[in-house]
Amino acid sequence: MLATARRLTARSATSDGRQTKVDPTMNPPLRAVVAAEFLGTTLLVLLGDGVVASAFLLEKDPRWLLITTGWALAVTLGVYVSGRTSGGHLNPAVTLALAMRGEVAWSRLPAYWAAQLAGAFAGALLVYADYAAAFVTFEAKHGITRGAMSAGKLLGPAAGGAGIFATFPEFDGLAGNILSEFLGTAVLLFAVRALTDRRNDPPQSNLGPILVGAIVWVIGMSLGGLTGYAINPARDLGPRLAAALLGWGSSVFVSHGSYFWVPIVAPLAGGVAGALLFDLAVARTLPPLDEPNPPGRLSP
Ordered DSSP codes for 169-233? -SS--HHHHHHHHHHHHHHHHHHHHHHH-TTS----TT-HHHHHHHHHHHHHHHHGGGT----SH
Is the separation of the CB atoms in 284 and 39 below 8 Å? no
Per the prediction, the chain carries an average pLDDT of 88
What would the mean pLDDT of 292-296 be, rounded to a whole number? 54
Is the separation of the CB atoms in 242 and 128 below 8 Å? yes
Is residue 21 over pLDDT 90?
no
Residue-level pLDDT at 7: 38
pLDDT in tens, 165-192: 999 999 999 999 999 999 999 999 999 9
The count of other CB atoms within 10 Å of the CB of residue 75 is 25
pLDDT in tens, 114-140: 999 999 999 999 999 999 999 999 999
Which residues, in sequence order, are CB contacts of 192 under 8 Å at separation 6+? 94, 212, 215
Residue-level pLDDT at 199: 83
Is residue 24 over pLDDT 60?
no
- What is each CA distance from 226 to 15, 52, 176, 183, 184, in whole angstroms? 56, 13, 9, 12, 11
User: What percentage of residues in the chain have a pLDDT greater than 70?
Assistant: 87
Residue-level pLDDT at 116: 97
What would the mean pLDDT of 129-155 be, rounded to a whole number? 96
Neighbouring-strand partners of residue 19? 13
Task: Give the integer Cα–Cα distance in Å for 57 and 95.
Answer: 34
The CATH code belonging to domain 50-285 is 1.20.1080.10
Task: Give the integer Cα–Cα distance in Å for 274 and 193.
Answer: 9
Q: 229: left (phi > 0), else alpha (psi -120 to 50), else beta?
A: left
Residue-level pLDDT at 13: 41
The count of other CB atoms within 10 Å of the CB of residue 122 is 13
Is residue 227 over pLDDT 90?
yes
Which residues, in sequence order, are CB contacts of 82 under 8 Å at separation 6+? 88, 89, 90
Return the closest-CA partner of residue 148 out of 134, 162, 127, 169: 162
Return the closest-CA partner of residue 165 out of 88, 231, 248: 248
Is residue 23 over pLDDT 80?
no
Show me where the domains of the chain are located: 50-285
